[in-house]
Chains A and B, each alone.
Chain A
Amino acid sequence: MQLNPVNTKQSREELFTTLYQKVFPTVARYVAKMGGSFDQAKDIFQDALLIYYEKAISNNITLQSSEKAYIAGIAKHLWLKTYRDEAGNIPFDAVSIDQPEEEQHQYASNKLMHYLETAGQKCMEILKAFYYDKLPVKQITEAFGYSGPHSATVQKYKCLEKVRDTVKKKALHYEDFLE
Chain B
Amino acid sequence: MRTSLNEIKTIEEHLFNRVHPADNLLFQANMILNTDLLEKVDLQKAAYQTVQQYSRKQLKAEIEAVHQKLANKPNSFMQRLISLFKK
Interface of B is mostly: helix
Residues in A whose Cβ lies below 8 Å from that of B58: 128
Q: With the chains together, A113 CA to B50 CA distance in Å? A: 8
The answer to whether A160 and B8 have CB atoms under 8 Å apart is yes
Give the residues from 122 to 178 in chain A that come closer than 8 angstroms, CB to CB, to chain B: 124, 127-128, 131-133, 154, 157-158, 160-161, 163-164, 167-168, 171
Give the shortest distance, in Å, between A161 (CB) and chain B (any CB): 6
Given contacts A16-B66, A157-B8, contact A108 B53 (CB under 8 A): yes
Give the shortest distance, in Å, between B47 (CB) and chain A (any CB): 4
From B1, B40, B54, B63, A49 is in contact (CB under 8 Å) with B63
The answer to whether B44 and A42 have CB atoms under 8 Å apart is no
The answer to whether A113 and B43 have CB atoms under 8 Å apart is no
The answer, yes or no, to whether B9 is at the interface (CB within 8 Å) is yes
Q: With the chains together, A107 CA to B47 CA distance in Å? A: 9
Give the shortest distance, in Å, between A14 (CB) and chain B (any CB): 9
Residue of B nearest to A158 (CB): B5
The answer, yes or no, to whether A29 is at the interface (CB within 8 Å) is yes
Most A CB atoms within 10 A — which of B44, B54, B58, B62? B54
Residues in B whose Cβ lies below 8 Å from that of A107: 46, 49-50, 52-53
Q: Mark B44-72, 1 if CB is under 8 A from A, else 0.
A: 10111111111111111011111101100
The answer, yes or no, to whether B82 is at the interface (CB within 8 Å) is yes
Interface bracket on B: 35 or more
Give the residues from 22 to 60 in chain A that come closer than 8 angstroms, CB to CB, to chain B: 24-25, 28-29, 32, 37-38, 41-42, 46, 49-50, 53
Interface of A is mostly: helix
Residues in A whose Cβ lies below 8 Å from that of B51: 124, 127-128, 131-132, 163
Q: With the chains together, A108 CA to B54 CA distance in Å? A: 9
The answer, yes or no, to whether A116 is at the interface (CB within 8 Å) is yes
Interface residues of A (CB under 8 A from B): 9, 12-13, 16-17, 20-21, 24-25, 28-29, 32, 37-38, 41-42, 46, 49-50, 53, 100-102, 106-108, 112-113, 116-117, 124, 127-128, 131-133, 154, 157-158, 160-161, 163-164, 167-168, 171
15 pairs, A vs B, C-beta closer than 8 Å: A13-B65, A24-B78, A28-B85, A38-B82, A38-B84, A100-B56, A102-B52, A112-B50, A113-B54, A124-B51, A128-B58, A132-B55, A132-B56, A161-B4, A164-B40
